[in-house]
Amino acid sequence: MRKAIWLSVFCLWPAAALAEDITSAYTRWDLETSCQQVENGDGYTFAGAWSCPGHGGLRMMAAVSDDRSFVGFGKRPAETCAYGRTFSRFNTALSPVEWRLKAGKPFAVIQRWRVSTDDEGGSMTWLVVTALEGDEACPVHYVAGSYPEANAQARRAADNLAEDFDCATDVPTVDSTVGADGIDFISCEEMRAR
C-alpha cells in the first residue's frame, strides 16, 4: 500500500511542478516618471516614444500617436510586430504590465488597455496577451475586460497559447461577449505587407 501511495505521489509531482513553474512579475510604468523619452513628438499628432522598464533583460517601448498607444516588448521592442499594432479607436495602454514567466524567464505579457467606444467619452477595457518569441513580440489573444474572470482568462491564454504561437503567420484570437470592434485579426506578415 505504501509503495502505491509513493508511486502516485511521484507520478503526480512532475505535473504539479510544471504547473507551479509559471509565475507572474509586474512592472509599473509611467511615461513622465519611470520611462525615458527616446523620440520627441512632432507638435501635431505624434506625442513621442519612450523606453520603459521591463523584466528579465527585456524592455518595453511605448509611443503615442493620434491619441492611440503603441507598445512593444523585447530587446528591440520598437522593431516588434506588437509595436506596430493598436486598436483602431482612441486608446491608452495602462500600467502595470504582467509578465508571465516560466522558470523565471518571460514568455508572454498581459497588458490592460482603455479603448473608447463612442464620441461621448464612453470606454471599455481590453487585456492584450502578447507572445515573446525570440526578438519578436506579437498579440496572441484579446480578452474584453467585461468577460467573466477576464484576468484569469488572459493568464490561461498566455500560458496555453503564447509559446506555440507563430508570430509571423498565426492570427490572434478573442474572448468577448461584446464583439471585437477595432481589432485587426491578421498575422504579423499580413500587417507588415500593408
Q: Is the pLDDT of residue 116 over 80?
A: yes
Grid cell at residue 43: 507638435
Per-residue pLDDT tens digits for 140-166? 999 999 999 999 999 999 999 999 999
Report yes or no: 55 and 132 within 8 Å, Cβ to Cβ.
no
Q: Tell me the sheet residues that pair with 125.
A: 114
Per cent of the chain over pLDDT 90 is 85
- For residue 181, the model assigns a pLDDT of 85
Of 107, 192, 119, the closest CA to residue 158 belongs to: 107
CB within 8 A of 178, min separation 6: which ones?
A: 124, 144, 146
> In which band, very low, low, confident or very high, does the pLDDT at 6 lie, cut at 50, 70 and 90?
very low
Q: Is the pTM of this model over 0.85?
A: yes
